[in-house]
Amino acid sequence: MPDRLVLRGRWRARSAGAGVRPARIAVCAAGRGALPRSWEGLRAGTVRSPAEAYGPDMTVSSPEAVVTARTHHPDRPGITELRLAAFAVHRRVRFPLGPLTLVTGPSGSGKTVALRAYEALALLGGGAGLAEVFPDPVTCVPETARPDAQRRRGFRIGCTVDGPEGPVRLDVAVQAEPELRIVGERLTADGRILLETALRDPGRRSVQAAWHTGGSSAVTRGPLPDDRLGTALLPLRVAGRTDGERQVLAAAEQMVLALRSVYACAPSPRRMRAPAPVGQGRLLGGCENLAEVLWRTRSECAHRYAHLVAAVRAGCSGPVADVSAEPLGDGTVRGLLDRGDGVRTPLGLLGDGELRYLALALVLLTGPGVLEVDQAGEVPQALQSLTVLADGFDHCLDARQTQELVRLAVRMCERGHIRLVGAVSDASWARGLPGVSVVDLRS
């Protein structure tokens, strides 16, 4: 079974200007019958149809950020809502997401947990197995969750993606104990269930799946593995012969395209101080190869590099005439700040806040070709949007640096090719700023 999904059909056709659906109002299947009600209802032999495992809707974490229905849908698919029905410290919570979203709240409120759930969905959407995504799944189970008669416990997460096909909703129920497996999944669009799975026989490593056909037979049924996201496998299983199957394919591919285009970024100043070995020139999640990426990108796009220098000048102490890198002759590269008058400061001498600021500015000003991220190479760049997940976005930064980074992020997110979800300790200053959505976990 392939580890990564190859998208096809409508998304490739759009590169030639064909297969584009006209803008329309799409109703998201929110609310009734949306998420598994309780793990007591998932005991062996009691769930005979997928619908039995689904219950009422959840509350909204930040009412001011509720996304309303629109008549126009973006060409670039993006996640507009993250749902944590039962995941670690969160229960029945929605996180509305915009192009730039700051998640704030006190320590222990679940900011990191929310980004962790987002990244998990991204990995599942890219075709990763459950064991890879959740190496310690018990930590994802709410502490108050009680096992059922078969000693089973689990968690539930989901999201909504808006794009050319309108809002598409995905909800997933995962069993963490005694065995890690997906026990329920639902993909919906336009108020119609396009894919639904349920665990019928706990003795088998598969779930029973039913997807919309719309032909002589309303649905097609078949087994899917219980350790992979069924939505990510649909383009490999559905032929697309009927209008119903084509709708299923388009919705699944929109969901997968939005999920897999995620870059989790957590710059580590301690690891960024040493010279970086020369490699492929793609920035790792910890940004430890920052110097190498600076060396590579300096000559590739002078316009964007000039913006990087301007951003560093605004956020770092002392004069900054240029940002550069130089090979040391031993297969490594070190980064430098040119202070003017021949004075150059190695990046290793900068403070933690300055290093994190520089790394995050570089992330916002580059793209998938420079970042270590799984690209959908078969989909035109004009239809893709990269989402940056930045836990501790303001960690080690002073107020001036944080605000400069947010202003830079607003400008880049307005262009549509990048989205940002950042966890911050305080976002009171960002409320009401154009282009910034704030999700406050204290509300």
Domain ranges of the chain: 10-57+120-257, 264-434
The model's pTM is 0.83
Contact 223/209 with Cβ under 8 angstroms?
Answer: yes
Give the pLDDT confidence score for residue 311 in this predicted structure: 95
Mean pLDDT by runs of 10 across the 443 residues of the chain is 47 41 28 30 35 41 42 84 96 95 94 97 95 96 90 96 95 96 96 94 91 85 95 90 92 93 93 90 92 89 90 94 93 94 93 96 87 69 84 95 95 92 94 93 81
Segment holding 309, helix H or strand E: helix 302-315
- B/e letters for 53-88, b = 16+ CB within 10 Å, e = fewer, are bbbeebebbbeebebeeeeebeebbbbbbbbbbbbb
- Eight-class DSSP state of 389: E
Give the pLDDT confidence score for residue 252 in this predicted structure: 95
Report d(CA 188, CA 181) in Å as an integer. 21
Topology of domain 264-434, CATH: Rossmann fold (3.40.50)
Give the pLDDT confidence score for residue 370 in this predicted structure: 83
Report d(CA 397, CA 358) in Å as an integer. 11
Three-class DSSP category at 344: strand
Give the pLDDT confidence score for residue 48 in this predicted structure: 36
Contact 37/168 with Cβ under 8 angstroms?
Answer: no
